[in-house]
Amino acid sequence: MTMDGRRAVWIVLDGVGLGALPDAKDYGDEDAATLPHVAKACGGLNLPNMQRLGMGNLADIEGVPPLAKPSGAYGRLAERSAGKDSIVGHWELAGVVLDQPFATYPQGFPEKLVAEFAKIAGVQPLGNVPAGGISVLKEYGAEHVKTARPILYTSVASVFQIAAHEEVIPPESLYKLCQAAKTLTDEYNIARVIARPFTGSEQQGFRRTPRRKDFPTPPPQATLLECMTAKDYTVSTVGKIYDLFAGRGISRSTTTVDNSDGMSKTLAELDALDKGLLMVNLIDFDMAYGHRNDVVGFGRALEEFDAWLPRLYGRMRPDDLLVISADHGCDPTTPGSDHTREYVPALVWSKSMQVGAELGDRQSFADLAATLAAYFTVPGVVSGASFIDELRL
């Protein structure tokens, strides 16, 4: 197969960390180890397919012991950028390392910003608190329905989140409000404005809908995705990848409602991909289980993903490359419900690989971008150290 006909499938398991980074104490995350802790709390996990790729060789994962000769290349990636946000993690995976972190507002947003937002919303918002998405609906949902005041909240990440009931502020109107808010938040170095539509009632409970939409700051320099499309490769994405990269370098994109939907659409998009990169984000580990401290759900989702992998293998060509990684941790066993600063896995496999390889601890998430740039022979990725030669394709 020629270089031009190459394909790679890159799956980001959102929030699946392996253990605390050396600087995790600075973030209050020195005890975090998402995958090992989930496995232990579940009494062991059944992950035979990722085990064969080398996952059990990267950490002490109950039920997933190390193998003498894994079939994949396996290593741990350390994050160089400051922070532990999805957008920062994905950007570094794609070759952009941030020297300065985005701003966070753990005490709520400044009065001036809230006042400016109130002007464009036409009403004073509710909240302006750091909170989880479910708790904020329980606290302010009923008053929002009565008053039509949007709910404003944040988290440990650099996010300006606006929640609104779909029958009070329809999603399209909420998106317009978020777009207007983005013009305000840029001055405050906030990474993302996020629309959070919800439905339900006070009596039956409020619940978020799949119509979330992100309005991110674009990457400050060209990512692997842009370098690839500049060389006429197709970059297809599944899940929230489009939002995290502000659409930059993406040829086509499909949204998902959960992991099951994401895995199904991954197979369809791979079938439709002639040459290039398919990048996938599976969000449930983070959104549905990590943030909600649902250890059992987290473990079940990992086993479901692992059991699905042979279906993906069956759709791959002999020279296709598979990459499995993560963007940060989200340990559901530690206090709080936020992301955790951890090493993340790098599992790389192809039917053409002659033997597995130990990649060790890599100094940056961007090593994956550099490796994929070498695989596709595209220039322009400025961060990361390629390990393409170690794959022995």
The 10s digit of each residue's pLDDT in 348-368 is 999 999 899 999 999 999 999
The CA-based dihedral angle spanning residues 83, 211, 10, 245, taken in that order and rounded to the nearest 10 degrees: -50
The CA-based dihedral angle spanning residues 32, 163, 244, 241, taken in that order and rounded to the nearest 10 degrees: 90
pLDDT, one tens digit per residue, over 227-261 is 999 999 999 999 999 999 999 999 999 999 999 99
Check residue 12 and give its pLDDT: 98
Using the predicted structure, report yes or no on whether residue 331 has a pLDDT greater than 90. Answer: yes
Using the predicted structure, report yes or no on whether residue 22 has a pLDDT greater than 90. Answer: yes
Domain ranges of the chain: 3-100+218-391, 111-215
Using the predicted structure, report yes or no on whether residue 346 has a pLDDT greater than 90. Answer: yes
Averaged over 15-38, what is the pLDDT?
97
Check residue 1 and give its pLDDT: 42
Query: Looking at residue 256, what DSSP letter applies?
Result: -
Q: For residues 213 and 44, what is the distance between their CA atoms, to the nearest angstrom?
A: 35
**Residue 240 CA: distances (Å) to CA of 145, 253, 268:** 28, 9, 17
Percent of the chain with pLDDT over 90: 91
Q: For residues 252 and 254, what is the distance between their CA atoms, to the nearest angstrom?
A: 7
Output the pTM of the full model. 0.90
Residues 280, 244 contacting (CB under 8 angstroms): no
The contacts of residue 277 (CB under 8 Å, 6+ apart) are: 7, 8, 10, 224, 225, 228, 233, 234, 235, 236, 372, 376
pLDDT, one tens digit per residue, over 255-301 is 999 999 999 999 999 999 999 999 999 999 998 999 989 999 999 99
Q: For residues 82 and 98, what is the distance between their CA atoms, to the nearest angstrom?
A: 7
Nearest C-alpha neighbor of 217 from the set 175, 252, 188: 188
Averaged over 116-137, what is the pLDDT?
94
Give me the helices (H) in the chain, please. Answer: 34-41, 48-53, 86-93, 111-121, 133-147, 171-185, 224-230, 241-244, 259-272, 284, 295-315, 367-376, 388-391
Check residue 4 and give its pLDDT: 64
Average pLDDT, the chain: 95
| 3-state secondary structure at position 379 | coil
Q: For residues 266 and 72, what is the distance between their CA atoms, to the nearest angstrom?
A: 21
Averaged over 139-165, what is the pLDDT?
95
Using the predicted structure, report yes or no on whether residue 156 has a pLDDT greater than 80. Answer: no
Q: Between 3.50.50.60, 3.40.50.10800, 3.40.50.1820, 3.40.720.10, what CATH number should domain 3-100+218-391 receive?
A: 3.40.720.10
Averaged over 179-201, what is the pLDDT?
96
Tokens of 268: 């369809």
Q: How far is CA 181 from the centre of its chain?
A: 23
**Residue 57 CA: distances (Å) to CA of 10, 69, 323, 346:** 20, 10, 16, 11
Q: For residues 46 and 61, what is the distance between their CA atoms, to the nearest angstrom?
A: 10
Averaged over 136-159, what is the pLDDT?
94
- Tally of residues, the chain: 393
| 3-state secondary structure at position 37 | helix
Angle, alpha carbons 304-307-312 (nearest 5°): 110
Band (31; pLDDT cuts 50, 70, 90): very high
Residues 258, 305 contacting (CB under 8 angstroms): no
Q: Which CATH superfamily is domain 111-215 in?
A: Phosphopentomutase (3.30.70.1250)
